[in-house]
Structure 1
Amino acid sequence: MGTQFARTLAILRQRTRSTVAKVLLIIGMFVGVCIVLVNLVYLQGNIFDGVRTYVRGEGLWAKAQKDAIFYLTHYSYDKDEVDYHRYLAATSVILGDNQARQALLSVPVDEQTAKLGFIQGLNHEQDTESLIWFFRHFHSTPHMQKAIQLWSLADERFKSVMRLAENIHNEINQFGGRPEILAQYRQQLIEANGELLHLEIAFSEILSEGARWVKQMTWLISLGALLLFIGIVIFTSRHIINNIAKSEQLLLMSESRFNSLKNSNTIGIISWRLDGTIQDANDHFLKMLNFDRADLASGLINWRSLTPPECEARDAIAITELVQYGHCQQYEKQLISKDGALIPVMLGASFLNGSDQEGVAYFMDLSASKQAEDKLRLAATVFNASTDGIIITDPKLSIISINQAFTDITGFTQQNLQGDAARFINTGHETEDAYQAMLNLLQQGEQWQGEILKETPLGDKLSLSLRINTVRNDQDLLTHFVIVITDISERKAEEEYLRHIAHHDALTNLPNRVLFYAKLEQAIVHVQRTKGIFAVLFLDLDNFKPINDQFGHDVGDKLLQQVAKRLSSAIRQIDTITRLGGDEFVILLEHLPNAENVQILQEKIVHAVTKPYTIDGHLIHIGASIGSAVYPDNGTDAKSLINHADQAMYSMKKPIK
């Protein structure tokens, strides 16, 4: 019997090793998926930063292009070489970006030349790394290829502006500037400006579409990795379950050979050797000490090592009796369980016939009440040490106990809730349907999980994850609800912050171009239905560049932030203001009673913006040029309205900014 039992144990050990290998594979896959997800989050952050830098760069390019055409137009009128040199300065920005693009498209990529080009294009030096990284990693994607194509078209179209500039310059220097010729050139400049504005808008839109596409792809890859992991877990778990089933079959075969050991459900029985080896044991003995068949097969269980030092003297007396009589008197001792607990037992032992080394022993567990107390103390420790809030209730949601973490998180005590958990879980749901869904499941004795927004006794708002688990007895009757509350306010705030920065300008915190165009399209749809009117204002700061040159970009950035605050204070809550780039702002005025209100609001805005500023100890004065377009008088689509407001602004702009 011993040989057959040993063979069974050998097979069990082999299957255990196979099962462990598969569990380790699952753990390895889980770690791999976590690493992939972390990398995807890092990549997504770099992508959004890259998109941000390109949107800012496009704003600088657009600003330079408008300045170039503006000064060139003025030069065609006043023939002042100062305006022509200002045109050349604005052109330098566009040429810098063109240089950067050519360097990035070259083989091999010339990163140093690209960096110098971006800096010449007035991009911040710290942003050049993001610009180059984004271009190198995503230039082959469909959206980026379209963006590069639009960039190239804009550069080529601007070259025609440069050729017009040369023609205008030659016309003025050689022929004194014939009015009819200069008028033709100015008309060509207007056409070029319109085409370039169209390309700029298309470039911004394709960047936004590309960012959304990349975000969707990263989430799809994350989902794919997760599904792959789940598939492997299911596949491996199936093999583990099969191994367990085969192991159980082997155990049943072993049990049939040792019926005298396996039929006892109240007494632990072992086959032992004098050196401490336990050759076999019934389930009751193993369960009593929290061991399992794998521990027995591995030789982990040894009755000498399971005996605490203070019981060794009594064991020596029993061994003496065994040697003399073949059996010993029943006596009490303690055994060390697998988790280190001392289990009081009553035992008796005897040698097998003809052997003075092997025998059998029986054990009766005397610690049922003590184990029950230990379990209660352990449960209480876990309950009170948990960082999640926990409420234990009866089936009617009457509170039995609340842990300290619940009060720390929510501020509520059992007395605040008047002993009724329903006072807490019945409010704060996002919709009435969500509340009814929870209520229906609880009435059916089922589990529920969701999120609620609660107000603490101090008035703070908390986003909470709520899990309501059921506890059932041996008859499958509901006995308790366990409500677990986790504070997810920080995670919710982070999600809201990410949504905010995706639609707002990083410097001024104003809505960005994407959000502005979305609101503008909504306004068009609304007035088409209501037959109302709205207006678009295009505002450009005068004398901003000299301020930047004199006091530095840090002061310039702070000035833009203060301008944004004044603009926000000057408009109504229903209106929208965005910073297109540089010192250009666009304002959407909705729900206007009549077109005459536009002029009043314009004057109010200009008055607010042109008041003196004090920044870092410097008293700063700036001017503002503003133009407007009213729907539907000046256009019925976003492009025509913005173009009209832009032209209206430039028509009133002073020659020297």
Structure 2
Amino acid sequence: MRPNDGYHRSLFHTHAVIPGMTFALRPSVREKIWAMVVLFLLGLCSASIIAILAEREILLGEKKHTVRRLVEVAHSIAAHYAAQEQRGDLSTAAAQDAAKQTIRAMRYDENAYFWINDLSLPVPRMVMHPTAPELDGQPLDDDSLGYASSLQLGTDGPRTNLIPPQKLFVALANVAQQGGHGYITYYWPKPLPGSASTTVRYPKLSYVKAFEPWGWSIGSGSYLDDVDALIHAQIARKLWLILGIGLPLIVLAALLARNIIGPLVRSSRALAAMTQGSQPMAPLVVEREDEIGTLIHGFNQLQTTLHRSEARFRSVVENAGDAIYIHDRFGWIHDVNQIASEQTGYSRAELLAASVRLLDTHSDFDSLCSLWGIAATEPERYPMTVESAHRRKDGTVFPIEVRISVLPGDDQGLRFVAMVRDITRRKQAEAALLEKTRALARTNAKLEQLATVFSHAREGVMITAPDGTILDVNEAFTRITTYSRDEALGHTPRLLKSGHQPREFYEAMWNALLQDGHWSGEVWNRRKDGSLYAELLTISAVREPDGRTQHFVALFTDISAQKAHQQQLEYIARYDALTGLPNRMLLADRLHQAITQARRRGQPLAVAYIDLDGFKAVNDTHGHAAGDQLLTTLARRMRRSLREGDTIARLGGDEFVAVLADLPDRETGMTLVERLLQAATEVVHHAGHPLQVSASIGVAYHLPGNEHDADLLLRQADQAMYQAKQAGKNRAQVFTADNSTGNGTRASNGSASSM
């Protein structure tokens, strides 16, 4: 026997019930308004603090980068003189004095300077200080010199606060010795015009770097008080901004709390009393004629509308287009409407005597009963909508959509209202539209991706029709090409054509687009002002489901700066900075190519090692500027004395190497060497003084049939050059393998014959 057998409550014997309203302890609207004001002001303060701290870190980072770059310059100067010392051009004392004088004279940012101290510990000594020369040569352990407050080993190491503080120059020496280079913060007087300094000490950031050849530590610093001044100004502006926003906001919140929240509080209290039964249902008092009064008046009208809607609901249920069932948590049917009988083929009496199991095709009916049973403990799960299938009296099955709700106010146990809709036609329509929906989804996904790229990409974006007509461009396109959007629309990409790519290039591009649907590569285009720029371009075709091209999307990035920077780096890496001649790296490359070519053609190849005679005397007598002019002038003359395909490179100092390729015979090579000798002896005028040197040249030949490599040829030419110097200078000496002397560490197997 089914539970509550014989009980049938009509679907239409219902009554209107206003759900009870419970009021839990929670923040009032007034409290929420003040909380929002406070949270907004706190958020504004927090954002200001974060922005100020971020700006301070940026400014300090720029300071650190600048002072490091400048110390690297001073370090390179010391390295330059140390290199002259190693070559023997200067004595150690002369090289160190020259380096100190040069660095002492260097200034930047008006009064900023460089100093040098040694690396001896525990007490270092001052080598050179331009604004405090009295410290030169003195031990740097005096407390009056100040203390370091923090240090950082290297450029990426952690910053360490020194507790207790460490003596300034001891800390500087520790950083240079332990990390090779790093940063120090401390306080130091500012230099004044002349040799005076301020009595007040200012915060300062310094960078030091060890110079190992001479045991030096080279450093420079930048004062930080200007950074603090900028930050203080930012703090003042932020405070005024917060005050300017906060005061009007507080006044507005106070007005809202007094004029708007008060009437709402009184009305809500009256409504709570009505719902709790402490006073009868009655219209609320309308205290004002604004929006709040309209709200209260609307609630009063709602009570009247509820009574009217109850009568209409009874009529709607009877004439509803869906089948309606009332059943208990065990599935027994207690009431149905007429549509339920028409939908299933069962009479009303047959349905009232049955369970939902009669209709539902669900294989696990007990799980449905369990789901209905949790309605009392988990009411938030209802109403719910599910799809299932029902079986008619004739055995046919049809798909349904069921919306299940808990029937309120029932004193006979839990009841459920199930509204069942036959969705056979909808399912058929869904099946018919499924393929089209999937196709549209794929197209929409592509369009959304393109729209996102178009809106947010920093690259230039251009959308064209299949015939190439420009349909749209983004702001990055305008920035890169200097064409406005209106100027570009309606044109084709030929608007940007530079003429650097041949017609075949564009034909290959279009063939790739038509066959593969995409193309990418580097292109040279022309801006509106006529200037050329290089871009990294990617073009993709957006296709219709049937394969037809809908439009093309081109994304490009201006890489002109990268191209120029790459060319500059390649030049610096392969050419001598002073003379513009190939350096040792490019010489090695060209010499290997020349040897390969000589072996392939069966022709002789000559390598001439050139060392200038008397160059050091010019440097010592007339200075380095004269020496530099002499080197650049002789390099230009020697280059002009050779043929177009020959190479002359500078190894460093006054040493050069010439590679003479494509020689028909050795006599032609010696003729070119004679030209080099003549070019080296020509007079160079500097500041009214005639400068003249000569050259000692060693020549080594790579002849057909031998397997000499580049290093061996250079060593042979080097040995021949030293024998030319020993033979009296201003001459050329040819290396010969049959008269080897093997002298010294610079010699190779063989000797030289004089020319």
Per the TM superposition, whether the score is higher than 0.5 is: no
TM bin, normalised by shorter chain, reads 0.3 to 0.5
TM-score (norm 1): 0.43
Q: Which has the larger radius of gyration?
A: 2
Q: Which has the higher helix share?
A: 1
If asked which structure has higher relative contact order (CA below 8 Å, sep 6+), I would say: 1
